[in-house]
Amino acid sequence: MLTYECNYECDHCFVWGGPSQTGTMTVDTIKHILDQAKALGSIRWIYFEGGEAFLYYETLSAGVRMAEDAGFKVGIVTNAYWATSDIEAAKWLKPFVGPVEDLSISSDVYHGNDDVPELTETARRVATELGMPVDFITVAEPEALEVPAAAGQLPAGQSAVLYRGRAAEKLASRVEAKPWDQFTECPWEDLREPERVHVDPFGNLHICQGISIGNLLERPLPDIMADYDADKHPVVGPLLAGGPAEIVRRYGLAHEDGYADHCHLCYKARCALRERFPEVLTPDQMYGTS
């Protein structure tokens, strides 16, 4: 997560991205993270996302080059705000032709204004002409039916809203609430043996956005992963034992009768526990309190 800052402030954003957000990686921080990823030995892909990574173009460019030089496959997630014409899009994208093996463009009703469809289509068309692998990431409106949910690095295609972060505050009321005690698992992330993790500008290593299992600026990544005991983690442990409902039961949390989905209950429970587990439920940016 190159930055928490974004030029948009989308209702569905689960990292509370927006123009007033703070926290952006330096080139030195990126190098440190890549060195740690290399030391771990099992990481194949490095994605640069945000927020909006293109807001810090020089840092993004340097990071992509370093990731390629280190032998990683590289992807970027963007809202394509910069694709105001074919000429502009080509100017922004050409330095990434070759190193970037996946350009994921966020394009849905939540982003920006009426110009967004044209911007994102321009970016996709120009990327295709340049030979860069590209596709759209689209999050459906809450009322959409039969749309699959996805977590973490969203796949190409259309996905359902995950009601955490800003989405928990802005969108959860638009769907019918389900009984809180039916949310007895985490259906989206492999919390015991994660296939992906997210690193933010402060070094926090998120197994799911807002749930930290360590800090790469304080401890080496191989040590963090070697010492990671999912069952003993104060948030992951209950999630594995009985989902978000178990977090509520284990810590005796006050709760509503119903929630929009698993993420909604999990997010609300985590908000209630932040003072108790500040090093785990961090940073403030993930909870809209920065």
Q: Is residue 115 part of a domain?
A: yes
Q: Is residue 101 part of a domain?
A: yes
Question: Which residues on neighbouring strands pair with residue 208, listed in sequence order?
Answer: 211
Report which DSSP code applies to 32. H
Assign residue 135 the CATH number of its domain. Answer: 3.20.20.70
Q: Is residue 67 part of a domain?
A: yes
Q: Distance between CA 155 and CA 139 in Å, rounded?
A: 10
Q: Is residue 147 part of a domain?
A: no
Calculate Rg over the CA atoms of the chain.
19
Tell me what pLDDT residue 155 has: 56
CB neighbours of 42 closer than 8 A, spacing ≥ 6?
none
Task: Look up residue 203 and give its amino acid.
Answer: G
Residue 165 tokens, joined: 């972060």
Regarding pTM above 0.75, the answer is yes
Total tally of structural domains belonging to the chain:
1
Q: What is the 3-state secondary structure (H, E, C) of 144-207?
A: CCCCCCCCCCCCCEEECCCCCCHHHHHCHHHCCCEEHHHCCCCCCCCCCCCCCCEECCCCEEEE
Tell me what pLDDT residue 146 has: 58
Scanning the structure block, which residue is given the tokens 């989308």?
10
Tell me what pLDDT residue 283 has: 98
Q: Is residue 17 part of a domain?
A: yes
Query: Domain containing 57: what range?
Result: 1-139
User: Within 10 Å of residue 267's Cβ, how many Cβ atoms?
Assistant: 27
Q: Quote the mean pLDDT of the chain.
A: 93
Q: Is residue 95 part of a domain?
A: yes
Residue 143, pLDDT above cutoff 70: yes
CB neighbours of 166 closer than 8 A, spacing ≥ 6?
9, 10, 11, 12, 13, 14, 16, 288
Q: Is residue 59 part of a domain?
A: yes
Residue 261, pLDDT above cutoff 70: yes
Tell me what pLDDT residue 139 has: 83
Tell me what pLDDT residue 103 has: 97
Q: Distance between CA 107 and CA 224 in Å, rounded?
A: 35
pLDDT digits (tens, 9 = 90+) for 197-244: 999 999 999 999 999 999 999 999 999 999 999 999 999 999 999 999
Q: Single out the residue of 111, 134, 110 nearest to residue 122, CA to CA.
A: 134
pLDDT digits (tens, 9 = 90+) for 231-255: 999 999 999 999 999 999 999 999 9
Tell me what pLDDT residue 141 has: 82
User: Within 10 Å of residue 226's Cβ, how many Cβ atoms?
Assistant: 9
Tell me what pLDDT residue 115 has: 64
**Cα 130 vs. chain centroid, distance in angstroms?**
27
Question: Which residues on neighbouring strands pair with residue 73, listed in sequence order?
Answer: 45
Range of lowest pLDDT (114-118, 170-174, 202-206, 268-272)? 114-118
Q: Is residue 42 part of a domain?
A: yes
Range of lowest pLDDT (97-101, 142-146, 224-228)? 142-146
